[in-house]
Amino acid sequence: MVSSYNPILLLRGELMLVRDIIKTLDAEILTGEENLDLDIKSGCGADLMSDVMAFVKDNVILLTGLINVQGVRTAEMMDIKVICFVRGKQPTEQIIELAKSKGITILCTKNPMFIACGLLYKAGLTGRGVWD
Amino acid sequence: MGLSGQKVTLRYTIAAEDFISAGEASSHVKKTLNKLGISHELVKRFTIAMYEAEINTVIHANGGEAYVEITPEKLMVRISDNGPGISDIEKAMMEGWSTAPEHISEMGFGAGMGLPNMKRYADELAVESEVGVGTVVTITVYLS
Protein backbone atom coordinates (compact mmCIF):
# COMPACT_ATOMS: atom_id res chain seq x y z
CA MET A 1 0.00 0.00 0.00
CA VAL A 2 1.33 3.36 -1.01
CA SER A 3 0.69 6.25 1.33
CA SER A 4 -1.95 8.72 0.20
CA TYR A 5 -0.86 11.26 2.76
CA ASN A 6 -0.60 14.73 1.30
CA PRO A 7 2.87 15.92 2.18
CA ILE A 8 2.54 19.55 1.13
CA LEU A 9 4.10 22.14 3.46
CA LEU A 10 5.71 19.75 5.86
CA LEU A 11 9.05 21.39 5.45
CA ARG A 12 10.41 24.10 7.66
CA GLY A 13 13.13 25.59 5.56
CA GLU A 14 14.95 22.59 4.18
CA LEU A 15 14.38 20.45 7.23
CA MET A 16 11.79 17.84 8.04
CA LEU A 17 10.90 16.51 11.46
CA VAL A 18 10.99 12.78 12.08
CA ARG A 19 7.29 12.88 13.06
CA ASP A 20 6.48 14.34 9.62
CA ILE A 21 8.57 11.68 7.90
CA ILE A 22 6.47 9.07 9.70
CA LYS A 23 3.28 10.62 8.34
CA THR A 24 4.70 10.94 4.84
CA LEU A 25 5.81 7.32 4.67
CA ASP A 26 2.83 5.97 6.59
CA ALA A 27 5.49 4.42 8.79
CA GLU A 28 5.44 2.76 12.16
CA ILE A 29 7.93 3.73 14.87
CA LEU A 30 9.48 0.77 16.69
CA THR A 31 11.92 2.58 18.96
CA GLY A 32 13.44 6.03 19.46
CA GLU A 33 10.42 8.25 20.20
CA GLU A 34 12.87 10.75 21.72
CA ASN A 35 13.94 11.72 18.19
CA LEU A 36 10.45 12.64 16.91
CA ASP A 37 11.30 16.34 16.81
CA LEU A 38 14.72 15.85 15.30
CA ASP A 39 15.42 17.83 12.13
CA ILE A 40 16.39 15.78 9.10
CA LYS A 41 18.12 17.56 6.25
CA SER A 42 18.46 14.82 3.67
CA GLY A 43 17.93 11.17 2.85
CA CYS A 44 20.00 8.24 1.72
CA GLY A 45 18.53 5.07 0.22
CA ALA A 46 21.02 2.18 0.22
CA ASP A 47 21.39 -1.52 0.95
CA LEU A 48 25.15 -1.45 0.78
CA MET A 49 26.52 -0.26 4.11
CA SER A 50 30.01 0.44 2.78
CA ASP A 51 28.46 2.91 0.34
CA VAL A 52 26.66 4.58 3.22
CA MET A 53 29.99 4.93 5.00
CA ALA A 54 31.75 6.21 1.90
CA PHE A 55 29.34 8.92 0.93
CA VAL A 56 26.81 9.92 3.57
CA LYS A 57 26.88 13.15 5.54
CA ASP A 58 25.08 14.30 8.69
CA ASN A 59 21.39 14.74 9.64
CA VAL A 60 20.37 11.98 7.30
CA ILE A 61 17.59 9.44 7.38
CA LEU A 62 18.82 6.08 6.12
CA LEU A 63 16.27 4.13 4.10
CA THR A 64 17.27 0.52 3.65
CA GLY A 65 15.95 -2.94 2.88
CA LEU A 66 18.88 -4.50 4.70
CA ILE A 67 17.59 -5.99 7.92
CA ASN A 68 20.46 -6.87 10.22
CA VAL A 69 22.39 -5.48 13.16
CA GLN A 70 25.11 -4.11 10.90
CA GLY A 71 22.65 -1.54 9.57
CA VAL A 72 22.35 -0.21 13.10
CA ARG A 73 26.12 -0.40 13.65
CA THR A 74 26.71 1.53 10.43
CA ALA A 75 24.22 4.18 11.55
CA GLU A 76 26.01 4.40 14.89
CA MET A 77 29.41 4.92 13.25
CA MET A 78 27.95 7.52 10.88
CA ASP A 79 26.02 9.40 13.60
CA ILE A 80 22.79 8.61 11.74
CA LYS A 81 19.86 8.92 14.14
CA VAL A 82 17.01 7.53 12.04
CA ILE A 83 16.72 4.32 10.02
CA CYS A 84 13.62 3.42 8.03
CA PHE A 85 13.23 -0.19 6.88
CA VAL A 86 11.35 -0.33 3.59
CA ARG A 87 9.28 -2.97 1.76
CA GLY A 88 7.47 -3.92 4.97
CA LYS A 89 10.48 -5.70 6.43
CA GLN A 90 10.32 -6.23 10.17
CA PRO A 91 13.53 -6.05 12.20
CA THR A 92 14.18 -8.61 14.93
CA GLU A 93 13.98 -7.76 18.62
CA GLN A 94 17.79 -7.86 18.71
CA ILE A 95 18.02 -5.12 16.07
CA ILE A 96 15.45 -2.98 17.87
CA GLU A 97 17.22 -3.41 21.23
CA LEU A 98 20.59 -2.46 19.75
CA ALA A 99 19.08 0.64 18.15
CA LYS A 100 17.39 1.55 21.43
CA SER A 101 20.66 1.31 23.33
CA LYS A 102 22.30 3.62 20.76
CA GLY A 103 19.49 6.20 20.71
CA ILE A 104 18.68 5.39 17.09
CA THR A 105 15.08 5.60 15.86
CA ILE A 106 13.72 2.66 13.88
CA LEU A 107 10.86 3.19 11.44
CA CYS A 108 9.15 0.64 9.21
CA THR A 109 7.15 1.36 6.08
CA LYS A 110 5.35 -0.96 3.70
CA ASN A 111 6.41 1.29 0.83
CA PRO A 112 9.18 -0.07 -1.37
CA MET A 113 12.47 1.83 -1.56
CA PHE A 114 11.71 3.79 -4.74
CA ILE A 115 8.30 4.93 -3.53
CA ALA A 116 9.55 5.76 -0.02
CA CYS A 117 12.35 7.93 -1.41
CA GLY A 118 9.91 9.49 -3.88
CA LEU A 119 7.38 10.37 -1.19
CA LEU A 120 10.02 12.11 0.92
CA TYR A 121 11.39 13.93 -2.09
CA LYS A 122 7.91 15.04 -3.13
CA ALA A 123 7.34 16.29 0.40
CA GLY A 124 10.36 18.52 -0.05
CA LEU A 125 13.16 16.53 1.54
CA THR A 126 15.41 17.10 -1.43
CA GLY A 127 18.79 17.44 0.26
CA ARG A 128 21.54 15.16 -0.95
CA GLY A 129 22.44 12.58 1.66
CA VAL A 130 25.87 12.24 0.15
CA TRP A 131 28.88 14.48 -0.22
CA ASP A 132 28.82 16.50 -3.44
CA MET B 1 37.54 12.44 31.64
CA GLY B 2 40.04 13.94 29.26
CA LEU B 3 43.37 13.38 27.62
CA SER B 4 45.95 15.18 29.69
CA GLY B 5 49.17 13.95 28.20
CA GLN B 6 48.68 10.30 29.04
CA LYS B 7 48.34 7.35 26.73
CA VAL B 8 45.20 5.23 26.67
CA THR B 9 45.40 1.74 25.22
CA LEU B 10 42.58 -0.68 24.47
CA ARG B 11 42.65 -4.28 23.26
CA TYR B 12 39.90 -6.33 21.68
CA THR B 13 39.44 -9.82 20.33
CA ILE B 14 37.39 -9.94 17.15
CA ALA B 15 35.45 -13.18 16.96
CA ALA B 16 35.42 -15.23 13.75
CA GLU B 17 32.30 -15.44 11.58
CA ASP B 18 30.30 -13.49 14.12
CA PHE B 19 28.28 -10.89 12.31
CA ILE B 20 26.14 -10.10 15.28
CA SER B 21 28.99 -8.85 17.43
CA ALA B 22 31.07 -7.49 14.53
CA GLY B 23 31.52 -3.80 15.17
CA GLU B 24 31.38 -4.01 18.97
CA ALA B 25 35.06 -3.08 19.31
CA SER B 26 34.61 -0.01 17.07
CA SER B 27 31.47 0.91 18.97
CA HIS B 28 33.33 0.75 22.29
CA VAL B 29 36.19 2.82 20.89
CA LYS B 30 33.72 5.43 19.66
CA LYS B 31 32.12 5.65 23.09
CA THR B 32 35.54 5.97 24.76
CA LEU B 33 36.73 8.70 22.37
CA ASN B 34 33.53 10.68 22.82
CA LYS B 35 33.98 10.49 26.60
CA LEU B 36 37.52 11.78 26.18
CA GLY B 37 36.06 14.84 24.47
CA ILE B 38 37.73 14.30 21.10
CA SER B 39 36.12 16.15 18.17
CA HIS B 40 33.13 14.30 16.69
CA GLU B 41 34.46 14.62 13.16
CA LEU B 42 37.75 12.91 14.04
CA VAL B 43 36.01 10.25 16.12
CA LYS B 44 33.71 9.52 13.20
CA ARG B 45 36.54 9.24 10.68
CA PHE B 46 38.58 7.00 12.95
CA THR B 47 35.77 4.66 13.96
CA ILE B 48 34.38 4.25 10.42
CA ALA B 49 37.84 3.18 9.25
CA MET B 50 38.22 0.85 12.23
CA TYR B 51 34.74 -0.61 11.70
CA GLU B 52 35.53 -1.47 8.07
CA ALA B 53 38.75 -3.15 9.21
CA GLU B 54 36.87 -5.05 11.90
CA ILE B 55 34.28 -6.25 9.38
CA ASN B 56 37.07 -7.33 7.00
CA THR B 57 38.64 -9.40 9.75
CA VAL B 58 35.34 -11.20 10.32
CA ILE B 59 34.67 -11.73 6.58
CA HIS B 60 38.11 -12.82 5.46
CA ALA B 61 40.24 -13.93 8.35
CA ASN B 62 38.40 -15.86 11.05
CA GLY B 63 38.63 -12.91 13.37
CA GLY B 64 41.67 -11.26 14.87
CA GLU B 65 42.83 -8.69 17.36
CA ALA B 66 42.58 -4.93 17.63
CA TYR B 67 45.01 -2.76 19.56
CA VAL B 68 44.07 0.89 19.98
CA GLU B 69 46.39 3.64 21.18
CA ILE B 70 45.08 7.09 22.03
CA THR B 71 47.57 9.89 22.70
CA PRO B 72 47.17 13.68 22.65
CA GLU B 73 48.72 13.62 19.14
CA LYS B 74 46.88 10.80 17.41
CA LEU B 75 44.43 7.92 17.34
CA MET B 76 45.90 4.65 16.14
CA VAL B 77 44.46 1.17 15.72
CA ARG B 78 46.33 -1.91 14.62
CA ILE B 79 44.15 -4.80 13.53
CA SER B 80 45.94 -8.07 12.98
CA ASP B 81 44.73 -11.46 11.85
CA ASN B 82 46.01 -14.90 10.91
CA GLY B 83 43.86 -15.08 7.80
CA PRO B 84 44.77 -15.99 4.21
CA GLY B 85 46.58 -12.69 3.53
CA ILE B 86 46.12 -10.37 0.55
CA SER B 87 47.95 -11.44 -2.61
CA ASP B 88 47.65 -8.09 -4.40
CA ILE B 89 47.31 -5.11 -2.05
CA GLU B 90 47.19 -2.62 -4.93
CA LYS B 91 44.13 -4.38 -6.37
CA ALA B 92 42.54 -4.65 -2.93
CA MET B 93 42.78 -0.87 -2.58
CA MET B 94 40.62 -0.36 -5.69
CA GLU B 95 36.94 0.40 -5.18
CA GLY B 96 34.79 -2.50 -6.32
CA TRP B 97 37.44 -5.21 -6.15
CA SER B 98 36.44 -7.92 -3.71
CA THR B 99 37.05 -11.56 -2.89
CA ALA B 100 34.24 -11.74 -0.35
CA PRO B 101 31.81 -14.65 -0.75
CA GLU B 102 28.32 -13.89 -1.99
CA HIS B 103 26.55 -14.29 1.36
CA ILE B 104 28.53 -11.30 2.64
CA SER B 105 26.73 -9.02 0.15
CA GLU B 106 23.50 -9.91 1.89
CA MET B 107 25.00 -8.37 5.01
CA GLY B 108 25.58 -5.06 3.21
CA PHE B 109 29.32 -5.54 2.76
CA GLY B 110 31.71 -7.32 0.41
CA ALA B 111 31.44 -4.82 -2.44
CA GLY B 112 35.09 -3.86 -2.47
CA MET B 113 34.72 -0.67 -0.45
CA GLY B 114 36.42 -1.71 2.80
CA LEU B 115 40.05 -0.76 2.22
CA PRO B 116 39.12 2.26 0.03
CA ASN B 117 36.92 3.52 2.87
CA MET B 118 39.74 3.06 5.38
CA LYS B 119 41.99 5.10 3.09
CA ARG B 120 39.28 7.74 2.66
CA TYR B 121 38.95 8.41 6.38
CA ALA B 122 42.42 7.71 7.77
CA ASP B 123 45.27 10.20 7.71
CA GLU B 124 47.57 7.22 7.32
CA LEU B 125 46.78 3.66 6.35
CA ALA B 126 49.37 0.89 6.36
CA VAL B 127 48.54 -2.59 5.08
CA GLU B 128 51.09 -5.34 5.59
CA SER B 129 50.14 -8.77 4.39
CA GLU B 130 51.67 -12.12 3.65
CA VAL B 131 49.76 -14.87 1.89
CA GLY B 132 49.15 -17.78 4.23
CA VAL B 133 50.35 -15.83 7.27
CA GLY B 134 47.95 -12.93 7.82
CA THR B 135 47.35 -9.23 7.54
CA VAL B 136 48.07 -6.22 9.74
CA VAL B 137 46.18 -3.01 9.05
CA THR B 138 47.23 0.15 10.87
CA ILE B 139 44.96 3.18 10.79
CA THR B 140 46.05 6.58 12.11
CA VAL B 141 44.09 9.79 12.52
CA TYR B 142 45.97 12.85 13.79
CA LEU B 143 44.39 15.02 16.44
CA SER B 144 46.03 18.28 15.54
- Distance between CA atoms of residues B3 and A109, nearest Å: 44
How many C-beta atoms lie closer than 10 Å to residue A39's C-beta? 12
Domain regions of chain B by residue span: 8-142
At B68 the pLDDT is 98
| CATH of region A16-124, choose from 3.40.1390.20, 3.40.50.20, 3.10.20.30, 3.90.1150.10 | 3.40.1390.20
Chain B residues within an 8 Å CB radius of A51: 111, 113
Best CA proximity match to B115, nearest among B97, B93, B138, B137: B93
At B49, phi and psi to the nearest 5? -60, -45
Name the pLDDT band for B50 (thresholds 50, 70, 90): very high
| CA–centroid distance for A126 within its chain | 14
Q: What mean pLDDT value characterizes chain B?
A: 91
Best CA proximity match to B108, nearest among B64, B43, B51: B51
Region of residue B116 (left: phi > 0; alpha: psi -120 to 50; beta: else): alpha
Is there a contact between B113 and A94 if contact means CB atoms under 8 Å apart? no
Domain regions of chain A by residue span: 16-124
- Identity (one letter) of the amino acid at B123? D
User: Residue by residue, what is the 3-state secondary structure of B37-95?
Assistant: CCCHHHHHHHHHHHHHHHHHHHHHCCCEEEEEEECCCEEEEEEEECCCCCCCHHHHCCC
Type and span of the H or E element at A71: helix A69-78
Residues 6+ apart with CB under 8 A from B93: B115, B116, B119, B127
Sign of torsion over alpha carbons A90, B24, A56, A37: positive
- Nearest-CB residue to A48 (from B26, B51, B111): B111
Query: Which CATH number applies to B8-142?
Result: 3.30.565.10
pLDDT in tens, B89-144: 998 998 888 888 888 887 888 888 899 999 999 999 999 999 999 999 999 999 98
B114 touches chain A (CB under 8 A): yes
Higher pLDDT, A125 or B16: A125
At A54 the pLDDT is 86
Chain A residues within an 8 Å CB radius of B94: none
pLDDT in tens, A57-106: 777 999 999 999 999 999 999 999 999 999 999 999 999 999 999 999 99
pTM (global) more than 0.95: no
At A129 the pLDDT is 67
